[in-house]
Amino acid sequence: MARNLMETIHNAVMAALFWLVCLLTPKSPVSGKKLPPVRQPLLLEPATQLARKIRRREVCSVEVVQAYIDRIQEVNPLINAMIQDRFSLALQEAAQVDKLIEEETGGEGVLEDRLPLLGVPLSVKESFALHGMAQTAGAVSKKGKLATVDAPVVALLKRAGAIPLGVTNVPEQCMWIESHNHLYGMTRNPYNLDRISGGSSGGEGSILGGACSVIGVGSDIGGSIRLPSFFCGIFGHKPTPGIVSNENQLPPISGPQEELLGSGPMCRYAVDLLPMLKIMAGANVDKLSLNKKVEMKKLRFFTLPDCGEVPLTHPVSEDLQRAQKKVVERLEADLGVKVEEVHFPEFKHTMDMWFACMSLPTHEGKAPPSLAELLGEPGSPVWPLWELLKAAVGKSDHTMPAILFALKSKATTPQFSALKIREKLQQDFAELLGTDGVLLHPSFARVAPKHHHPLFTFGDIIYTAIYNVLGLPVTQCPLGLNEQGLPLGVQVVAGKLQDHLTIETAVYLEKAFGGWRDPGAN
């Protein structure tokens, strides 16, 4: 009875807020429009293949970079994914690449070993430091702030020869699943401009899904790589924690919270995941087994069809259930394996576990900064209720999701008993997956929602957040489109340090289900 009353009150409050948000939101000027199809063949090749062609002088880097610049200029006015470009610098760097290749006397092999992504375009999530580019995390208070260094992951990719084209949009303070802020505006889904691109790496998801980039950099603390990758029909990988550096990105995370955060690759083609992760892992690459050959027929496969009955959370939609079932059937038919269905009732405690982990003191014993504090920087913490009132009359510098999230965080008392549930689940998953197990799990409750709708279905992020809580590597894989032309997908999970298993499975699924689809061709 109490739970039913709580859900009734919640639904009434959410309905009122939804009405308010819709009232304050003007109709999009691009509503109903579609992306143009990809016409330039260079935009349809994986990064590794482009790098090979550039090294062999089959195509010049300037030509490739210019092709992507042309596509961005054609498409970005519709999707609003890249919020600052460096096109002139990128073309200069591409010309230097072509000159380097012309003068190289050591042969293609030398260049491949030293510069595996030589001349390939790259996009970067705006929260990461890219020298000379904006780094605001979508906060109005940080308007005009430029990065003076490169974040380690960006530096490693540049050192491997990749050429950054610009930085992409995020939600305010990177703490929401829709990329919208009062500094750069709203990013749209390339498959349907009335739908969200996801968050917090939503600009990356959209720019890649729209064929305006081939590889990108994202980060994930509750699904921020995987949700944009799912909604925008691309591949994304959240690595095992502690492998890829999280330094020089906003908001800064330290201490136990780093176990939740994973910086990783996002790309249109599964074949690019492994080489990107090898580069981004830097000195930690030997902790993974990325060079180990994976024999798919010898793996043990599991499927988890939903998160069970969880208050304030939607069940998995029928189209996503069917898509995951098709993966199970294909694995069993192709590999001769038996995919075992499993369930974990403890998943209903996901948000308690996530908030408890986010509330743990830093290594110095200090409380981590609250979202209210982050929103108030460089001044005092904001008052969420006051900002909510200001937002109602269009006077707040902060977005409604940021205000509501700050309000929810402030009202939530961390249940530290949830940490014991987390510890048990980690043990259960270690026993289940070992070093040869792979789990299939829904990416979200439904395909990409319409703009603002996630505000009223906050609980659905448990589908991704659970694997941040557990600290497991996950690869998001596209599985074609549904009847509405929106991307379907599935998460592929493995045990800690077994990233190579999820990536190899992604390569298999790309071949089996076709991978990324041109949104302009639908």
Just list the catalytic residues. Answer: 125, 200, 224
Q: 277 phi and psi, to 5 degrees?
A: -65, -35
CB 314 within 8 A of CB 460: yes
What is the distance, to the nearest Å, from the Cα of residue 61 to the centroid of all Cα atoms in its chain?
Answer: 27
Q: Which residue has the tokens 């006051």?
A: 386
CA Rg value for the chain: 22
Amino acid in position 163: I
186 torsion bin: left (phi>0), alpha (psi -120 to 50), beta (else): beta
Cβ-based burial of 203 (10 A; exposed 0-12, middle 13-18, buried ≥19)? buried
The CA distance from 271 to 263, in Å, is 18
> How far from each other are the two terminal CA atoms of the chain, in whole angstroms?
47
Return contacts of 109-113, CB within 8 angstroms, 24+ apart. Answer: 111/55, 112/51, 112/52, 112/55
The CA distance from 286 to 268, in Å, is 26
Strands 300-303 and 340-341: parallel
> In 327-473, where do the E strands start and end?
340-341, 437-441
The CA distance from 245 to 242, in Å, is 7
CB 221 within 8 A of CB 127: no
In 3-state terms, what secondary structure has residue 205? helix
Strands 487-494 and 437-441: antiparallel
Nearest partner of 371 among 412, 415, 407, judged by Cα: 407
Q: 448 phi and psi, to 5 degrees?
A: -50, 120
Q: Which helix (H) or strand (E) holds 235?
A: strand 235-238
Nearest partner of 162 among 212, 115, 99, judged by Cα: 115
The CA distance from 287 to 312, in Å, is 39
The CA distance from 485 to 481, in Å, is 5
Strands 82-85 and 163-168: antiparallel
The CA distance from 45 to 26, in Å, is 38
Q: Please confirm whether the linkage preceding 384 is cis (ω < 30° from 0).
A: no
Cβ-based burial of 284 (10 A; exposed 0-12, middle 13-18, buried ≥19)? middle
Q: Which helix (H) or strand (E) holds 301?
A: strand 300-303
